[in-house]
Structure formats: C-alpha cells, structure tokens
Amino acid sequence: MKFFIDTADLAEIRDLAATGLVDGVTTNPSLIQKSGRNFIEVVKEICSVVEGPVSAEVTATEHAKMLAEGRKLAKIADNVCVKVPLTPDGLKTCKALRNEGIQVNVTLCFSPAQALLAAKAGASFISPFVGRLDDIGSDGMGLIADIVQIYNAYDHIETEVLVASVRHPVHVIQAAKMGADVATLPPSVLRQMFNHPLTDKGLAAFLADWAKTGQSII
C-alpha cells in the first residue's frame, strides 16, 4: 500500500519525506488556503521534495476552463497529478487530460457509481472520502470495499483506489485489508501509526538494561 500525505505544509512534508515512507502528496484548495502560500509556488516546491504524484486541484467548474487550468498545473513539474472534482465537467476534463498523458486524481467521490464513472473516464486515482461519509452517519469504509470489489472485477480498470479523508490509523488498516492501493494521510495520522505504548515501554527497558552493561557499540 502506498502512503501519500494530505497537506500543503512544506515543513511537515520535508519532515515526513525524510522517513522514506512517503510516496506522494495530496493537496486541495482548503489545504492551500491553510498554508497561506501561493498555489503554483507551493506545488512546485512540494514536487521538488517528493518524487511521487503531487495532486493539485483545479478550481474552475466548467470543462474548457478546467482543462486550461489542468494543463497549466501539469506544466509545473512532471510529477503533478491534476485533481478534478467528480462532476460531468470534471470527468470530461479527466478524459481529455489523460489523452494528453497527464495524471488525474478524481476527487470528492462518495458512491460506487461515481467511482465506476471515474474509472471509465480513465482516472489515474479515485479519491473516496471515508471520514466525511462517517461524519454524516454513513459507512465510509463500506464505500472502499465496494470500489475495490468493483475495480477488481475488471482487468482493464487501472484506476488506483486512493483512500481520502482519513481520520485515524484504523481507517488505514481497514483500507489495507481491503486491498486499497493508496491512503492519503494527514501528517498526524502517519505519526500516530508509529506509536504503541508497548514499543515505548520495551525500548525504555532495553535501554535501561543496556546502560547497566557499561558498553557502547560505537
């Protein structure tokens, strides 16, 4: 399973990329606003830090303008993945950009039917939002299970399932068990995944015993 991080915060991206565990980055207009940075500049900088796909979202809602924005974003760097919303114009734009060899992440997916349409439009990634479904009392992980099952039923579907709106490590584990290709994680969730109290307790005990030996490795 690939891990992307869901942020436009360069300090977080540099810090987590240094672990070697980050395969890509996703941003959205809200995350760009939160960063307080210029959109094009911040995407360019993220692309220089992370080798994998960096999603940058169009903000137009009409096909011709979305296409123009997508082409401009794709020129920022080779690893830009243009993000489009799951609307008729978004999917039309997805197909056009894919025909030009540009990676596309179709975002704001909330149903298996939408995911099927995105695959048909040749999306590189589909982003189902699990947390936002959970927030309204719906079954976010159930959506992932449905999409994985549908995509696996067709050899010709190459669209990768990118689990988005992840709120905690349990979402990641459930998605991994289902065979989802990617999860995009808020930095805090990636950090939480390292933690276990028995790891901390065990390490403290090992180090205390080691100190008693009076030895050093180097």
Catalytic machinery residues: 83
Among 107, 114, 124, 159, binds ligand E4P (CB under 6 A): 107
Q: What are phi and psi of 191, to 5 degrees?
A: -65, -40
Identify the residue among 3, 110, 129, 151 touching ligand E4P (CB under 6 A): 129
Task: In whole angstroms, give the CA distance from residue 159 to residue 14.
Answer: 28
State the number of CA atoms in the 13 A half-sphere of 55 facing the CB: 29
Site for ligand E4P in 168-187 (CB under 6 A): 184
From the list 3, 8, 22, 28, which residue makes contact with ligand E4P (rule: CB under 6 A)? 28
Packing angle between helix 140-152 and helix 112-120, nearest 10 degrees?
A: 40
- CB of 6 or CB of 45, closer to ligand E4P: 6
Measured CA distances, 20 to 2, 23, 120 (Å): 12, 8, 33
Q: Are the beta carbons of 8 and 46 closer than 8 angstroms?
A: yes
- The residue among 121 and 165 lying less far from ligand E4P, judged by its C-beta, is 165
Site for ligand E4P contains 132 (CB under 6 A): yes
> Is 114 near ligand E4P (CB under 6 A)?
no
Among 9, 13, 24, 26, binds ligand E4P (CB under 6 A): 26
Decide: is 29 part of the binding site for ligand E4P (CB under 6 A). no
Tell me the closest approach of the beta carbon of residue 7 to ligand E4P, in angstroms: 9
Are residues 6 and 43 in contact, defined by beta-carbon separation less than 8 angstroms?
Answer: no
Instruction: Return left, alpha or beta for 123; rule: phi > 0 is left, psi -120 to 50 is alpha, else beta.
Output: beta
Task: State the minimum distance, in angstroms, from the CB of residue 169 to ligand E4P.
Answer: 15
* Dihedral class, residue 214 (left if φ above 0, else alpha if ψ from -120 to 50, else beta): left
Question: Applying CB under 6 A, which residues contact ligand E4P?
Answer: 6, 26, 28, 107, 127, 129, 131-132, 164-165, 184
